[in-house]
């Protein structure tokens, strides 16, 4: 019962977030000086040409009408056509999305599979070799810029020792180096949090209860403390994944991958307003959805959140 109510509440919050962001984008775009119709038409265009473009864009209508039309288009997931190529923005986004999704999932997997176990072990065996290794790993992960790591990895494992392909996105192997470069820094953040969280949980009173019950140390740590320690880790992992799904502009540039990041970057270069606004709304929706899923997962692990 609690879970269903929590689910509905969080879903309404998701819708509200998307609505607020869409509204913000709508007005920000309108505040930016310059009439998009003029930009499209060019300096030499006649007044009629400009009027025709305005009608096509819908900017000839009143502001409230434009706003309603905008919200309606979001509901239909139709962000209009690119002002440069004329292609559907939705189509452009969904062409690029699988690549970004693959990259993000692989990047976050590195975070989950490496950082969480390493962080938890660091906490359990504090000030041991494990912990120092984790410390070096996370310091390096936070200090090394991902583009530099990407270039070094390319140089080492695609040029000097050609194990991985230099560019392209056809096979799984193409994604390994970019995912590593992308995931390393994220993993560092997750590791620090996992360690701090586990250290805190291990000092909680219920751990004493678990020991007093005669449970083995394995059960005390990896059942009782770990389940609680994972809570903040779930939240931060969701946020990290959300960021990655917005496209990794730098990594996509380094590895010449045609992902969302590059699509939006070129949209900005070319002042493709419809593409930019569609892109921002899309990223906002994806981000909210990931957070929503993380919240649901969180509430399964920690039922207490449902009533708070």
Partner 1 sequence: MMAENQALLKVENLGVCFTHGAMKAHALRGIDLSFYREEIHGLVGESGSGKTVTSTCIIGLLPSPPGEYTSGRILFDGVDLLGLSQAEMRTYRGRKIAMVFQEPSKYLNPAFKIGEQITEMLKLHLDMNKEQARQRAIELLGLVGLGKDGRVLDSYPHELSGGMKQRAMIAIAISCNPEFLIADEPTTALDVTLQLQILRLIKKLKDLLGMGVLFISHDLGVVKEVADRVSVIYAGRIVESSTKGMLFENPLHPYTKLLMASIPDARKRGQRLATIPGRVPDADATPSGCAFHPRCPLADERCKTENPELKGKENGHAAACHHAGESWNI
Q: Which residues bind partner 1 (CB under 8 A)?
A: 204-206, 208-216, 219, 223-224, 227-228, 301-304, 307
Shortest approach of partner 1 to residue 112 CB, angstroms? 19
**Cα 31–Cα 33–Cα 36 angle in degrees, nearest 5:** 100
Tell me the closest approach of the beta carbon of residue 24 to partner 1, in angstroms.
37
Comparing CB distances to partner 1, the nearer of 2 and 87 is: 2
Question: In the complex, what is the shortest distance from the CB of residue 204 to partner 1, in angstroms, rounded to a whole number?
Answer: 7
Residue 39 or residue 231: which is nearer to partner 1 going by CB?
231
**Cβ atoms 220, 207 nearer than 8 A:** yes
In the complex with partner 1, which residue's Cβ is closer, 148 or 206? 206
To partner 1, the closest distance from the beta carbon of 236 in angstroms equals: 18
First to last CA, the chain: 14
Minimum CB separation from partner 1 for residue 212, in Å?
A: 4
Q: Output the 3-class SS for the chain.
A: CHHHHHHHHHHHHHHHHHHHHHHHHHHHHHHCCCCHHHHHHCCCCCHHHHHHHHHHHCCCCCHHHHHHHHHHHHHCCCCCECCCCCCEHHHHHHHHHHHHHHHHHHHHHHHHHHHHHHHHHHHHCCCCHHHHHHHHHHHHHHHCCHHHHHHHHHHHHHHHCCCCCCCCCCCCHHHHHHHHHHHHHHHHHHHHHHHHHHHHHHCCHHHHHHHHCCCCHHHHHHHHHHHHHHHHHHHHHHHHHHHHHCCCHHHHHHCCCCCHHHHHHHHHHCCCHHHHHHHHHHHHHHHHHHHHHHHHHHHHHCHHHHCC
Q: In the complex with partner 1, which residue's Cβ is closer, 161 or 307?
A: 307
Between 139 and 209, name the residue whose CB sits nearer to partner 1: 209
**Nearer to partner 1 (CB atom), residue 195 or residue 306:** 306
Give the nearest distance from C-beta 22 to partner 1 in angstroms: 37
Question: Which of residues 9 and 304 has its CB atom nearest to partner 1 in the complex?
Answer: 304
Residue 132 CB, nearest approach to partner 1 (Å) = 21
């Amino acid at each position: 019962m609690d879970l269903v109510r929590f689910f509905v509440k969080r879903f309404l919050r998701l819708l509200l977030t998307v609505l607020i962001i869409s509204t913000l984008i709508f007005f920000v775009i309108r505040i930016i000086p310059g009439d998009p119709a003029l930009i499209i038409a060019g300096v030499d265009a006649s007044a009629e040409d400009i009027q025709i473009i305005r009608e096509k864009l819908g900017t000839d209508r009143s502001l409230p009408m434009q706003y309603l039309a905008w919200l309606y288009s979001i509901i239909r997931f139709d962000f209009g056509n690119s002002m440069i190529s004329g292609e559907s923005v939705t189509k452009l986004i969904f062409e690029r999305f699988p690549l970004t999704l693959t990259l993000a999932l692989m990047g976050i997997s590195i975070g989950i599979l490496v950082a969480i176990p390493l962080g938890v072990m660091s906490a359990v065996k504090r000030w041991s070799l494990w912990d120092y290794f984790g410390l070096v790993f996370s310091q390096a992960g936070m200090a090394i810029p991902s583009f530099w790591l990407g270039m070094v990895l390319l140089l080492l494992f695609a040029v000097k020792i050609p194990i991985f392909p230099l560019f392209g996105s056809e096979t799984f192997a193409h994604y390994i180096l970019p995912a590593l470069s992308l995931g390393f820094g994220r993993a560092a953040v997750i590791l620090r949090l996992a360690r701090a969280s586990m250290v805190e949980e291990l000092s909680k009173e219920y751990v004493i209860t678990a020991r007093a019950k005669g449970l083995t140390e394995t059960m005390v740590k990896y059942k009782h403390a770990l389940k609680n320690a994972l809570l903040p880790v779930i939240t931060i992992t969701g946020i990290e994944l959300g960021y990655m799904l917005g496209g990794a502009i730098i990594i996509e540039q380094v590895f010449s991958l045609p992902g969302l990041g590059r699509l939006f970057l070129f949209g900005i270069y070319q002042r493709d307003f419809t593409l930019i606004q569609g892109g921002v709304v899309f990223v906002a929706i994806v981000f909210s959805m990931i957070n929503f899923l993380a919240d649901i997962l969180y509430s399964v692990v920690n039922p207490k959140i449902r009533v708070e």
